[in-house]
Structure 1
Amino acid sequence: MNNPPPPPARRAELLAAAAATVTVVLWASAFVSIRSAGEAYSPGALALGRLLAGALTLGVICLLRREGWPPRSAWRGIAISGLLWFGVYMVVLNWGEQQVDAGTAALVVNTGPILIALLGARLLGDPMPPRLLAGMAVSFAGAVTVGLSMSGEGGSSVLGVVLCLLAAVTYAAGVVAQKPALGTASPLQVTTFGCLVGAVVCLPFAGQLVQEAAKAPASATLNMVYLGVFPTALAFTTWAYALSRTTASRMGATTYAAPALVVLMSWLFLGEVPGLLTLVGGALCLAGVAVSRSRSRPAARAGDPGAVAEPRPERAADSAR
């Protein structure tokens, strides 16, 4: 006997959870590709090449789907998120992670979801239930543990710390700016035109990109194209889809699953066998995400205007990046 189809609300919830899962898996996979492409491309050139590949892919999809231009009301959010998240964030993150060890990068960059929660509560009116705050605290501890356990002897610099902090701030501001735009424009429109804005911001690095592409090995260039097509074009679109169906705070917390996935992918593709401390950190990341995505058992009482039920948990590991 066939099971009845899920109700529309439940189906939408499952689709949003699936979209969040795709996003985090692809953002985690970017770690491996950046390691390879970053050996041949400078931070600005890598960001521009990635954004150009992403914009081209998204542009073709938009033409095939006849998406058209976003409404005027969405352009403010698209422009801000394109400038800060697609543009500045990608350059300073690539640059910052060359200046600091993994532990420092994990500590600084992973403040991004915390900043999203604070900005979301202040600017968007996002709720901050205790479970969300507790889950984010656990995941942040796990992300720092993973970073410290995978640190080498590279050391850190003041410049690197500042760049990583700037990356966290621009990531958080970009996400919060993107949320209102999704109220009037489709996730594909918001992602496509945000990516185009980011590519324009990175055009000063065009000369470097041309020079470095002429000398780079094919594997590095292919990794740069992969970053544009999958962790950028596809993952940012699925992110926007999921973000349009939940709060910025909850989506930010979901990205804490990425460090655990990075550990797994580094093991599978780079042969970096994780130690016990790394595994503990990854487990903390996933546990924190589970807590932050859950809701308290007592349901809101029907007819009580002051009671607000939290969303159902999205059973998925959720960026970067």
Structure 2
Amino acid sequence: MTETLGVLAAVLSSALGGTAVGATRYLAGTLDAVTTGAVRFAGGFLILLPLALWRGDPWPARRDWPGVAGLGLLFFGLFPVLFNAALALTTAARGALALSTLPLLTMVAAAALGVEPLTPRKSLGVAVAIGGVALALAGSLTAAPPGAWRGDLVMVAAALCMALYTVWSRPFITRSAPIPFAAAGMGVGAAALTALAVLRGGLTELAGLSSPQWLACAYLAAVCGALIFFLWAYAMGRAPPTLVAVSVAVNPVTASLFGVLLLGEPVSPALVLGLVLVLAGIAIASGGRSRKAA
């Protein structure tokens, strides 16, 4: 049951993460990649910090702080810069598909580092989920700007950052709690991004934001900063890295569904079948382990 809750939290985190692409692209013409990341994670930290203090959950031990800080710089510092930069070089569909290599990268990293054994069932589940994403986005992959492959490679590098964070984080979370762990790492990454944004003069761009753009910033901080990464940390403390990572395949599919619901884009059979395959891949990857635990 604990592992199931972890997988469900990861799926919800990834589903909400699909909206982060839209909010980020909406602000891309006004804020640079570093400033957008600073707004997202500094705001998320300011929300998570009082919540962690109010709950009184244990914070990472002093001996864990170097590792927590390093993971914070990796995931909340480097990852958003690569993520935002990739979306400036490639299309949202291609970027989403490149990010969906996360389950494969996590599975390989977890096996190489001896954290989680590689099994045929997990491999099949990951392959089915990635295939579902490719099918759902197939119609959007043909239209791409020149040199879009550079953005695809940058997004794969971002996915590698997330994979390593997912694999290395679990022992720290089990020794503390999800909210303090997420807040600590987010605070370190946000501090680095904010300092870099100040040096680059990016924070001056905030003065020219319109009311809708401020709402997008608030959404990035509250939902795409605080809530999403609390759910991700919660999931990592309760489920193996590969099962958590495979849920990211939901991200681009839900982003496409938001396009259908909010932008009036047509519902294609490929989108529906792709979503079914993504959910089937997650079920395949987690099914055998869940039965064994039961």
TM-score clears 0.5:
yes
Distance 1:86 1:61 in 2: 19
Deviations 1:205-264 (A, max 9, x none): 135442221112221222122111112211211211121111111111122122222221
Distance 1:135 1:112 in 2: 13
Q: Structure 1 segments of 4 or more deviating over 4 A?
A: none
State the AA in 2 paired with 1:189.
P
Q: Is the 8 A contact 1:52 1:228 kept in 2?
A: yes
Q: Is the 8 A contact 1:119 1:176 kept in 2?
A: yes
User: Secondary structure at the residue paired with 1:294?
Assistant: helix
Name which one, 1 or 2, has greater alpha-carbon Rg: 1
After alignment, is 45-54 or 141-150 more displaced?
141-150
Under a length normalisation based on structure 2, what TM-score does the superposition of the two structures give?
Answer: 0.89
Matched, 1:179 2:170: yes
Q: Is the 8 A contact 1:27 1:258 kept in 2?
A: yes
Distance 1:62 1:26 in 2: 22
1:143 Cα offset (Å): 1.8
Find the counterpart in structure 2 of residue 95 from structure 1: 85
State the AA in 1 paired with 2:128.
V
Distance 1:240 1:276 in 2: 34
Match of 1:232 among 207, 225, 247: 225
Query: Larger relative CO (CA 8 A, sep 6+): 1 or 2?
Result: 2
Match of 1:130 among 116, 120, 134: 120
Pair 1:14–1:165, CA change in 2 (3 A): closer
Deviations 1:252-285 (A, max 9, x none): 1122122222221121123332333333333322
Q: Is the 8 A contact 2:16 2:251 kept in 1?
A: no
Matched, 1:216 2:209: yes
Deviations 1:285-319 (A, max 9, x none): 2221221121179x7xxxxxxxxx3x46xxxxxxx
Find the counterpart in structure 2 of residue 273 from structure 1: 266
Distance 1:282 1:26 in 2: 15
Please give the root-mean-square deviation of Cα atoms over the aligned residues, in Å. 2.3
Find the counterpart in structure 2 of residue 39 from structure 1: 29
Pair 1:296–1:83, CA change in 2 (3 A): closer
State the AA in 2 paired with 1:230.
V
Greater per-residue helix proportion: 2
Match of 1:169 among 152, 160, 170: 160
State the AA in 2 paired with 1:178.
S
State the AA in 2 paired with 1:269.
L
After alignment, is 226-235 or 26-35 more displaced?
26-35
Pair 1:268–1:51, CA change in 2 (3 A): same
Match of 2:64 among 74, 88, 96: 74
Distance 2:238 2:232 in 1: 10
Find the counterpart in structure 2 of residue 205 from structure 1: 197
Q: Is the 8 A contact 2:59 2:177 kept in 1?
A: no
Find the counterpart in structure 1 of residue 238 from structure 2: 245
Find the counterpart in structure 1 of residue 13 from structure 2: 23
State the AA in 2 paired with 1:92.
L
Distance 2:169 2:216 in 1: 27
How many residues get paired? 291
Unaligned runs of 5+ in 2: none
Pair 1:21–1:184, CA change in 2 (3 A): same
Under a length normalisation based on structure 1, what TM-score does the superposition of the two structures give?
Answer: 0.82
Distance 2:146 2:134 in 1: 16
State the AA in 1 paired with 2:78.
V
Distance 1:138 1:86 in 2: 29
User: Secondary structure at the residue paired with 1:182?
Assistant: helix
Q: Is the 8 A contact 2:7 2:247 kept in 1?
A: no
Q: Is the 8 A contact 2:127 2:281 kept in 1?
A: yes
State the AA in 1 paired with 2:80.
M
Identity of aligned residues (%): 26
Find the counterpart in structure 2 of residue 261 from structure 1: 254
Distance 1:107 1:18 in 2: 21
